[in-house]
Chain A
Amino acid sequence: MWVPVAGLPPRLKLSALAGAGRFCIWESGASTRKHFPAKNHRGFSDSYPQLLPYPDFNESPSSVSKCRLEPKRYVTSRRLAETVAQILRGKLERPRHLLLECNPGPGILTQALLRTGAKVVALESDRTFIPHLESLRKNLPGSLEVIHCDFFKIDPRGGGLVRPPTMVSHTLFQNLGIEARPWSAGIPLKVIGIFPIKNERRTLWKFLYNLYACTSIYRYGRIELNMFIGEKEYQKLMANKNSNLYDVLSVLWQIACEIKVLHVESLKPIEQKLYFIQMRPRRGLFTENLTPVNYDVFFHMLKHCFGKRSARLIDHLHSLTPVDAKDILMQIQKSEKVKVTHMHPQDFKRLFETIECSKDYAHKWLYDDSMGDTEHPEK
């Protein structure tokens, strides 16, 4: 159910997901599902954002529509916002974590979070919402900060001129006064948001590269992500061995983070679920043999293995490493017949570490940097 809002230029329409009423999706261009009766809108009016349309909408529609290339989801239901805020509040921990909210949009969730007494930094990529968020900030001095920034496009590869809303994490964190914490220390801050609808997979990869390399936001320690994620990607992320969905992404994320489902929200009219998950980097992710120095070899190993997932592991090992494959398999106590999909994520880590520390070989990998996927798939 997508309801066009009156008073907006035809290219830019705010459509609220009134049927479910928990999220709304911004989209430029005409809405697609017109068959939904308009009365639904009224039926769920309590969840409909009250503050729209903004006074400056008609003044600068062009500047808005420029950033509106991809649709975004926002939390618009107060009930959902309350639930999320309660989850995040958790047990009364002291000191409370700083919360980084990505693309708060209308600010429903922001308000709920603030009500729990949290300190929130709102990173909004859409200029349209900023005046409204600013007004929120003025109401609650000291606990909210608003920055025009697209969290999912932070630290672009290839460098070049960085213009807002793209930002460099270094500047952002410095401005916020956040200091880097050692990996073994606690969690420096939590990030709350919704993965970009169209680019969930890419974004997941980007975070993975940054996480294993300890770059970008992960330079500041084990930053915890609390994200809404689509059902499809969620299932891939959490897939277990032997599942069809089990893939490089599942292995890498499951090794890197403890992943917990905090809440499940179903989007009624489109028969989909959104999962609110917590991704907390493991303290023991980096070991002596798996470090930010050689993580790319590990990545390559996994990509190679899942390139032909039905093959036996030993066949892959033959083209990955000169180290004696049988010997390695014996060391990790796997049979020679073990298939790629039979390996638990931690088994892969163990496999990698075993090869890394095999003593008698000067050359442990056939991989070298020139073969590497130095830029993550976003490019």
Chain B
Amino acid sequence: MSALRWGRGAAGLGRVLQSCGRRGLPTEEGTLGVGLGPRRSSSASPHEKDLRKDWGHVELLEVLEARVRQLQAESVSEVTVNKVDVARLPERGGGGGNFQPPRKAQMGAKGAAPQHFGRWAAKLDKEKQTMQKRKQRLEVKLQVRAQRLAQKLPKPLQMEPRLVSGQLADSLRCGAQGTPLEEQLAQALQEAPRKLSLKEEQALADREVEAQLTGQQQTLLAFFECCLLTDHLHLAHHVLVAHHGNPRKQQLLTLAMYNTIMLGWARQGSFKELVYVFIMVKDAGFTPDLLSYAAALQCMGRLDQDARTIQRCLKQMARDRLQLQDLFTVVPLSEEERAALLRAIVKARPTFRPRLRPPPQVNTSTLLREVYAKDGPVSYPKLHLPLKTLQGFFQQQLHMELTASVCVESVEKAVLTKETMHARKTLTNLRVQWEAALHRALQETKASLARQAHEGRPTLYPFLCLLSEHEFVRLLTQTLQALPAQGKSFISVAQELGRRTFSRHMVQKQQLNNQVQALERRYTQYLRLLASDTQVAEPHLPRQYWEALGLPEAPQEKPWPVPVLLQLGRQLAELLVQAVQMPRSPAAPPGSCGLIPVLYHVYSFRSFRQIGILKPHPAFVQLLATAAEPMLTFETVDVPMLCPPRPWTSPHSGAFLLSPTKLMRAVEGTTQHQQLLERCPPAELHGALDTLTQLGNCAWRVNGHVLDLVLELFRDKGCSRLGVPPPPSEAPQPPEGRLPRDTPPARKAELRREMARCLKVAREMHSLRMDALYRLSLAQHLRHRIFWLPHNMDFRGRTYPCPPHFNHLGSDLARALLEFAEGRPLGPHGLDWLKIHLVNLTGLKKHASLRARLAFANEVMEDILDSADQPMAGRKWWMEADEPWQALACCVEIARAVRTPDPATYVSHLPVHQDGSCNGLQHYAALGRDSVGAASVNLMPSDLPQDVYSGVAAQVEAFRRQDAEQGLRVAQALEGFVSRKVVKQTVMTVVYGVTRYGGRLQIERRLRELSDFPQVGGPVASGNLISPPTTGSARGSAPLARLISHTGSAVEWVTPLGIPVIQPYHQEAKFTIRGGIQSITCSKAKDSSQKPNIKKQKNGFPPNFIHSLDSSHMMLTALHCYRKGLTFVSVHDCFWTHAADIAIMNQVCREQFVRLHSQPILQDLSAFLVKRFCSRAGRLRRGAGLPARPCSRPPPSAPSAGNFDLEQVKRSTYFFS
């Protein structure tokens, strides 16, 4: 000890370790214990003793006792061992975990000591009567024994900090000897922080960029936060103290961690512990920040401390240059916490009033002014359903989300044979066993992790307490069920388990916090806006109405960092591998033969990499196949919603009722988008939030007629051409039969290749089949219901429905299965639009005018009616269409309409599409006001639709002819091969900045597809075919992006609607999480803390920018259509609405395109980039840590514009058609 002290002094730290006031660490226990004992007991105040009683072993005991009960059922020998442990434990628990001689003596005197110490106690009694001396000796002996015991058993949780600073330690010691805690806190507050200048910046950086925390720190912080959630605050405090007391480990601690624990104590109103942490914060050299003070004040508010203490705290806060008002605006607080905090402040400053929440801000973007204008005609659509029905729907959805998963009947009908029934029975029996085994394994793991946590290590223990054991077991059995036959990579299993745990925990948390009831009340109110039979005072957008109904939702818990998520997932996956077993032969009765594992952790070798795979035993796979269980299980978030989604009100609340959903979808673990959105002023996002809400509010239903036909095909032999995947029975069969013994190896090799081919085909077929099975089963499940598809967006603002399997974004088949739940009468022109839509779907009359398309539809009316009446038996006209299933659905709709006495009154549910023709080029042409380009992509009015691809092909052909005449061999060879198809892909991608090389490859591929093309000339010829880019913008912008990424940050911009965009392309960095069943290596390429990937940033910029424009156009159209009462959904540049409303939608779509491009888009972009990347202020705002280099030169100004008159777009028929 003294050597240690000396060593530290010599190191010049100037801090003397104080030996008292510290609980012994394992290594010091033996030497320190005896001397310290008496002093400790005198220094502990009675209050502290009481507290200590509650801590310590109680939790651990519960776990151990549970384990004993478990074991009693199994083995006797184990129980006896455990009994001894437990018999000893309660005593220690009861004794408060302190082994102090006086106490022991008292216990002995009372004779109440349990059997174990009985011998000693009896002896002591006897001796006491006779000899004082011997008693004292005995006391010493007892103590030694107690200490020996203490070494064996987990130590009591440590509450008092071990401090580095001598001064603080002194004050703490004094405090322990009787100074009131308030004084201690005051002293701690005034203690000048030593490392202020250095640490302050660091703390700031830590808050700003959490991604900069190392993996260890992330784990530690997550541990603390999770302890708070699961009521293991003492444990968290213990681990904090243990880390704080160890100079090496102390470096891991950040202010956020201390704040977390402090907040925990504040919520419990434990002032003493809060002061301990506060002292530790000072001791570690951090300056307390708003969060720290908020916690301290909250605690004081709860305990009703006297004004003097509070005043002192406020004074110190002012000295730290923190604003009192910020406590209420910056710090996220629940309602109840806010009240406690306010109580404390008002006591010291009776006049203080927290600043009221600012009134709901209004978006100021010029583009959106009309959308949010209070005057003018507004007719927001209502749903066609009454309030009662909608409330019922809400209850169904709520129930579904609370149970976390949905069972859906599979559309695959198994033949019920005897084997099937037997297999099902076996499985049921096995599952009962597995659940028991998993319960057992989970408890064991928890017990062992709890022990480790008591030793001061941050383990996964609190995470395993988040959900009930039952819930974990259910999660694991579901995972087992869903594991594919060929296995699944360990890392993805782990990730999924981690993610699901988080999502279930979030749902559960809301349930416990009574947020569900609050939501129910608010949602019911909200439905009055949407229901058909209720009225609201003045028109509101759904988001506005929702906001008016109450306070904004508190920001939700942040998703766990990826390393934590993976560690938890790995732990759970390990449980699954270890615990789940089945008899060697599943047919045998249980217990008759040995058990083998169901899951195997195996490695696959790809080149030089090893990939861990969880693979089910083939027998288990077979058992599942035989049982052909009729139920599929989906996570709630994978199924469409049964009631209108919660409106998006902020980047963290919207869509599903309880399950957390991201506003901006991104790869797991990416935080930069969310951070950017959270930083953005709320009103800026209104455009996006309202669009997503509105797209999600569109009610859908299943087109039963199409579903029946598809199911018929699906259950029969399928049909690849129509997109119905055939069943496995249709897969090519590998050659059967055993080979004769003397088959030469070469023949066997051939056989092997044949088998491999069959297997590959079968596997591809299987995955297609499963995809279709999920989709059709969900469709069948939702057949007679109305459902909603909540939406979110990608990082460029393009919108997507959240449920993955069944939505309107999928293939032709998927789209044909859906129709609007609400119908509209066709009106005067609706039928014509239906017919034109049908012709569009067939793809037959791409170059014809609308009139000609309509005429064609009337011409083939007989075929249409035939298709509608006898889809499978008739002339099958619909099957030849580009989009056969949608065409069929349209045929049926037309047939029904024309057979109505007055087609104008026919109520149609079918969505009619309007497609942007080469939408990317349209935006390019408009940006550059390029007349030639505008004409070729239908921005100019014209009698016939223009086809840019044909145009380019014609031009290339003209050049070719010139070259051929001059005798160029390649040009001659190409005669007759320059077609629309050859150039299409290249033209499409040229706008997105495809390189010369990429374009050459594309053309080479197309040329090779032409069957009669002389193959030799291909590579040479393709080089000569590349067409010059139509506009210079794409080329111009790429170097700009490169310039930005060279400065060390990702390219960012803001869409005209105000959505902040950041390109998520970063250099890949790997991190490895060691330990457990296997180390997990994964790449963290997706965060702003990483250096940008310059090439991807550069190449990605032109297409992403154009996509951010087309998404803006879509959003503007959507918002204006909503104001006009239309039903509107979109698939990027394809807009859908009812046949009757096509004319209105077309008008809005054109107007908004003109309005969008009337904005100085490129100038704005340029200005933003200059401000963001070329000014010092802009760079600093990004937070520390990035090696920012100033731009060497300002970005080039916007390219000069051509002379195209935008207004012409409004009159162009084929702009969207």
Contacts and interface: CB of A to CB of B under 8 A. Distances in A.
Interface of A: 180, 182-183, 213-215, 219, 286, 288, 291-293, 300, 303-304, 307, 318-320, 322, 362-363, 366-375, 377, 379
B763 A214 contact: no
Contact of B618 (A307, A362, A369, A370): A362
B31 interface: no
Interface stretch (B369-377, B436-444, B535-543, B743-751): B743-751
Interface in B595-653: 596, 600-608, 610, 613, 615, 617-619
B763 A370 contact: yes
Given A319-B602, A371-B486, A371-B602, 9 more contacts: A214-B749, A319-B600, A320-B602, A367-B602, A369-B760, A371-B487, A371-B615, A373-B604, A374-B756
Contacts of A322: 596, 617-619
Sorting the interface of chain B by its residue count into under 10, 10 to 19, 20 to 34 or 35 or more gives: 20 to 34
Contacts, number: 83
B622 to A, nearest CB: 8
B602 A304 contact: yes
A367 B603 CA distance: 9
B598 to A, nearest CB: 10
B1026 interface: no
Contacts of A307: 603, 605, 610
A183 B745 contact: yes
B759 interface: yes
A371 B610 contact: no
A318 B608 CA distance: 23
B1171 interface: no
B741 interface: yes
Contacts of B607: 373, 375, 377, 379
B1202 to A, nearest CB: 43
B617 A366 contact: yes
A369 B745 contact: no
Nearest to A374: B756
Interface in B755-786: 755-756, 759-760, 763
Given A322-B619, A362-B619, A370-B486, A292 B605 contact: no
Nearest to A368: B486
In this complex, the member of B607, B741, B748, B749 whose beta carbon has the largest number of chain A beta carbons within 10 angstroms is B749
B752 interface: yes
A377 B746 contact: no
A183 B742 CA distance: 11
A167 to B, nearest CB: 18
Contacts of B605: 300, 303-304, 307, 373
A137 B745 CA distance: 36
B834 to A, nearest CB: 46
Contacts of A372: 604
A363 B618 contact: yes
B170 to A, nearest CB: 54
Nearest to B484: A370
Given A322-B619, A366-B618, A293 B748 contact: yes
Contacts of A367: 602
Contacts of A319: 600-603
Contact of B751 (A293, A375, A377, A379): A293
B602 A219 contact: no
Given A307-B603, A371-B487, A373-B607, A292 B748 contact: yes
A292 B752 contact: yes
Given A214-B748, A322-B617, A322-B618, A373 B601 contact: no
A217 to B, nearest CB: 12
A373 B611 CA distance: 11
Interface of B: 486-487, 596, 600-608, 610, 613, 615, 617-619, 741, 744-746, 748-749, 751-752, 755-756, 759-760, 763
A213 B486 contact: no
9 contacts: A214-B746, A286-B748, A288-B741, A293-B751, A303-B603, A304-B605, A362-B618, A366-B618, A369-B760
Nearest to B606: A373
B902 to A, nearest CB: 59
A318 B602 CA distance: 9
Contacts of B748: 214, 286, 291-293
Given A366-B602, A373-B605, A183 B744 contact: yes
A3 to B, nearest CB: 37
Contacts of A213: 749, 752
In this complex, the member of B604, B608, B613 whose beta carbon has the largest number of chain A beta carbons within 10 angstroms is B604
Nearest to B604: A371
B765 to A, nearest CB: 14
Contact of B608 (A362, A371, A377): A377
A342 B487 CA distance: 31
In this complex, the member of B600, B601, B619, B745 whose beta carbon has the largest number of chain A beta carbons within 10 angstroms is B745
B606 A183 contact: no
B539 to A, nearest CB: 57
Contacts of B741: 288
A292 B756 CA distance: 12
A15 to B, nearest CB: 32
Nearest to B594: A324
A288 B742 CA distance: 9
Contact of B745 (A214, A304, A362): A214
Contacts of A377: 607-608
Closest 8 CB pairs of A and B: A363-B618, A371-B604, A292-B749, A214-B749, A370-B486, A214-B745, A292-B748, A293-B752
A215 B751 CA distance: 12
Nearest to B602: A319
Contacts of A303: 603, 605
Given A219-B749, A291-B748, A366 B600 contact: yes
Given A214-B749, A292-B752, A182 B744 contact: yes
A362 B626 CA distance: 15
B629 to A, nearest CB: 21
A363 B749 contact: no
A87 to B, nearest CB: 29
A286 B745 contact: yes
Contacts of A292: 745-746, 748-749, 752
A183 B746 contact: yes
A130 to B, nearest CB: 22
A320 B748 CA distance: 24
Given A307-B610, A371-B604, A180 B746 contact: yes
A219 B750 CA distance: 10
Contacts of A318: 600
A371 B744 CA distance: 27
A315 to B, nearest CB: 11
B1077 to A, nearest CB: 10
Given A363-B619, A373-B607, A219 B601 contact: no
A286 B602 CA distance: 26
A304 B744 CA distance: 29
Contacts of A375: 607
B739 to A, nearest CB: 8
Contacts of A320: 602
B613 A369 contact: no
In this complex, the member of A303, A320, A369 whose beta carbon has the largest number of chain B beta carbons within 10 angstroms is A369
Contacts of A366: 600, 602, 615, 617-618
Contacts of B763: 370
A301 to B, nearest CB: 11
B105 to A, nearest CB: 54
A288 B617 CA distance: 26
A319 B752 CA distance: 24
Contacts of B596: 322
B619 A369 contact: no
A366 B607 CA distance: 20
Given A322-B596, A362-B619, A366-B618, A304 B746 contact: no
Given A183-B745, A292-B749, A379-B607, A369 B617 contact: no
Given A219-B749, A292-B749, A322-B596, A304 B606 contact: no
Contacts of B601: 319
